[in-house]
Structure 1
């Protein structure tokens, strides 16, 4: 229990008696649990559940009411006990159709400002996503946080997503873009976006154009127009056919001293 002293918690436990089927503890005087877990994960309220899988990685962050038994089974399932000669199940190359539908619905609800409904939909989405595609729910959690104006915590969640999926540069860039496109990003958000996009911007990978576009936007928001134009010119030069039109439009906007 965070924010409650041992006396208060002990009284609660005595009152619950046999109805209480779970363990509780209290944070230390320094608030270590709150800082190392809640703040680091961009969570500013309780109850909040963290599920650590058998690889030692955080597999879920969210409200405990969203933790259906079926989701826990997926997150904490035992390694396969089939003989080594058995044919391995094919690895999913895309999210399930249901997961895609839930993700699309959550996005629609967020754009409509229906954050409570979006939160419930995202909770259902987490149940449908395998570990490989967990970032989809994570990015939507970041969208939800920004939609609710929880901008103080958003940078930490963006960092967690980028770290957990460090092998996929596009995810860190996507998190950075969300910070830079927030309504009124503060300097902490801009600095985080810049840090997350930086490595991909210096690479030759497919996320480079998006990363350079983030750096351009961050620079423009800081009042550094020439720097923004420079980054966006690089983005245009390395843009894929699918990215080219948007990259050129953004460059034109910066050259006209406008925010795209």
Structure 2
């Protein structure tokens, strides 16, 4: 089919067809927003589209290379990439968690996480909210002085949207209470998480780990 004719094996692959039913560009879906306006204008050269994407890939590569040696330079490279290639930038934006943490630019990190949490609240995305809260209170996290108000907001909303029936989310909420210094609430919430995990076959595998944390919160 199309893939074989275009010599492409990787997925996702995207074929952009112009107004004359000619294939204008073939490539990764991430770069669709980069080439589509030119194709839709009707004034484009296929080779120029390819060069435009190559330049984007080069800018993307520069971000990853700088991450290895100079986190602050990586942020500068990322901000330029995001400005020049907003479509791919949006798709890749979760890279900011790592960029800001590595560079210890925690104000930028918390602002980004807050924006992500607000979007997740609108979408009622419990998994995303739980992930944000856990990143802030994970005992293995490299985040210094985490934004606990944001962690609490994300964990409470995740618990509300899951109707208090997801032990993994309750485990996160209990951890937030614990880090905030509310040991009583941490133990109460963790006890509910353990009870839910033991009741539901889907979560039984995590029950032992939850019980260990409950012992910690109870001071045993």
Partners of 1:197 and 1:255 in 2: CA distance = 21
TM-score (norm 1): 0.44
Q: 2:33 matched to which residue of 1?
A: 74
Partners of 1:129 and 1:175 in 2: CA distance = 22
Q: 2:133 matched to which residue of 1?
A: 176
Aligned residues: 157
Q: 1:158 matched to which residue of 2?
A: 113
Partners of 2:94 and 2:184 in 1: CA distance = 31
Which residue of the other structure, out of 131, 143, 165, is the alignment partner of 2:98?
143
Partners of 2:204 and 2:73 in 1: CA distance = 35
TM-score (norm 2): 0.51
Asked if the contact 1:219/1:227 (under 8 Å) is kept, the reply is yes
1:13-36 Cα distance to aligned partner (Å, 9 max, x none): xxxxxxxxxxxxxxxxxxxxxxxx
What does 1:111-122 correspond to in 2, within 5 Å?
none
Residue 242 and residue 115 in structure 1: after superposition, are their counterparts in 2 closer, same or farther (change >3 A)?
A: farther
- The offset of 1:114, in angstroms, is 8.4
Structure with the bigger percentage of helix: 2
1:113-139 Cα distance to aligned partner (Å, 9 max, x none): 985898789x79x999697xx3xx333
Mark the runs of 5 or more structure 1 residues left unpaired by the alignment: 1-69, 82-101
Q: 2:174 matched to which residue of 1?
A: 216
2:186 is the alignment partner of 1:228: yes
Structure whose CA Rg is larger: 2
RMSD: 4.7
Asked if the contact 2:31/2:88 (under 8 Å) is kept, the reply is no
SS at match of 2:111: helix
Residue 156 and residue 257 in structure 1: after superposition, are their counterparts in 2 closer, same or farther (change >3 A)?
A: same
2:198 is the alignment partner of 1:198: no
Partners of 2:127 and 2:165 in 1: CA distance = 5
